[in-house]
Structure 1
Amino acid sequence: MVSPISPSPRVETLARSGIETIPKDYIRPEEELKSIGDIFAEEKNDDGPQVPTIDLEDINSDNDETRKKCHEELKKAAIEWGVMHLINHGVAEELINRVKLSGREFFDLPVEEKEKYANDQAAGNVQGYGSKLANNASGQLEWEDYFFHCVYPEEKRDLSIWPKNPADYISATTEYAKQLRSLATKILSILSTGLGLEQDRLEKEVGGMDELILQMKINYYPKCPQPELALGVEAHTDVSALTFILHNMVPGLQLFYKGKWVTAKCVPNSIIMHIGDTIEILSNGKYKSILHRGLVNKEKVRISWAVFCEPPKEKIILKPLPETVSETEPPLFPPRTFAQHIMHKLFRKDEDEDDDLDKKLNDQSEKK
């Protein structure tokens, strides 16, 4: 485990202090810097591969061929990319706007007001307002503050740490979580049949309606005076089953695809969806959990709303499903609980032999 760096001011405070150079704790390693470019210029670039956009309008069509085509396009994106823009996803635009407005208004509050909701990572309490500590691979800090909390199921929420200001925060976030939970069921059903399984199989394998937990992390990336030296979030794969992301139409997300960093376009009224490690493991690598990172800029604040759909930490053993394994396709991942997988990923605590995820992260580092 990397030794923690001494507590630093909130990134927002640093950004507003008028500094022209960022502290060395935020500067990325030399070998990584050459891959960090101008996010606005890269978002406008139409050359090369583009993150797929999947239209879900026909997800439940009565026409067999129309419905099948929609399902096949989603499955193909999950196999080839592991990330996609979802449009016509069924979540009301008015609700999404409420979620974005309440999140932005929370981060518009003075830092001292937000500190009332501060988490205590040293004590193991990660829910609430915080900034990333250096328990990551590089040992460097990331140019972001965040607010993190469980949003579903309702009985597992701790409303005492949810923001009371703005007034619509709890109502908007609660309804959004419910609608995302329904969308997750639809996506898992398609991914399940795409593996030749019964349509409810993957949902059962990640905890079902009662045990799958939705955690929201609002990422706040302030303007950065030296964006060519920093990252909002360093390269990683999500540990979740699925991740759903909204953003304020400021680019920043990059995906490591076929040996190169690809910048995701800003697609209006879309939800970005990632396949997480959990589904990659269950599918024995057939669905991809793609390496991704977040860039920052000096012109605009970027905010994103990530909802991670996670299995219970100890109740389920994650391993490739028997139907995905054969003599020619042996299991790529050792059995672990979700909690063990998190510890392995975040803290490099390895009670087992090296697995395919380690190889993936190492391979990407060498290519950068």
Structure 2
Amino acid sequence: MAHSGEFGLINKLTSSLIKSKYVIVGVGDDCAVIKSSGSRYILATVDAQVMGVHFLPGTPPERIGRKAAAVSISDIAAMGGTPKHCLVSLFLPKNISDAYVEDVYRGITRECKTYSVGIVGGNITRAPQFAIDIALLGEASPKNILLRSGAEAGDKVLVTGSLGNAAAGLRLLQAPRAAISGAIRDFLVAKQTSPTPRISESAAIACARKATSMIDISDGLAQDMLHIAEQSKVGVILHEKRFPISRELKVFCKSMRKNPSVFALAGGEDYELLFTVPPERADSLASRIKRKTGTEVTEIGEITKKEKGNWLILNNGRKMRLKPSGWDHLKI
């Protein structure tokens, strides 16, 4: 059976949905935004983690739980919100033990506790494959919410942290005999199995009210940058030489004879924040984030008019089209 890809299928399924007057933002962003009776908006998101798709069978169960919670919490961060409450559904095959499930749930509860998220319910059902589905509610001030659709020509493109580490970690999990030293292996694998939602960084960005759009990098830099470009109806230029690459990824790629930029562009699951800022505000916002959170912020490109297209400037100066080479759940 032919598929149009994850995002094509989403468009087909949701094209005829009726939008409630209480829905500020529906399908298509990191979270839905819903009016409440108070002065703040409700943010709602849901994410599934499936054995063999999002994590490998040998992954420690507590790490599986922590990652499942972190992924949903990161969606709230991507909108400039504060995570509040979640519902946890578990899909359990017949051969799974109570001890394994308890370890997974312990990971979920510990990650939620770290970010003051309350678990308020959920569901357990039998299924052929182990999976976790977390629905998370958050809140945000209407003035602080950041969408994918606000970027404007002339804006600078900024990103927190470093890119490509999680993809390298996945590669190491798939090839455990790769000749990579313990400290570097541990760093990269932890980035894959234990991502850190950028909640503090999100708050620093949202409260400054200088950014124009934002997304968390779950599908890869290229794919997620193009989400912003498409929804903002703009073009973009990214510069390979500016990509923030960790020392650990550089060592890994040198050993494996790989280009670290490929991991940054197409790897996904870094859960860093990718956002756009007017040029006159970019430096001050980057400094604010560094001062408040200790996280480095790097300028990696600029927004252009839509008709100019989407481009990547390579290290050698050559220009190539920026293509959606990241994670698509129906093309794995």
Instruction: Please confirm whether the aligned pair reaches a TM-score higher than 0.5, indicating the same fold.
Output: no
**Please, what TM-score do these two structures have when normalized by structure 2?**
0.26
**Please, what TM-score do these two structures have when normalized by structure 1?**
0.24
Higher strand proportion, which one? 2
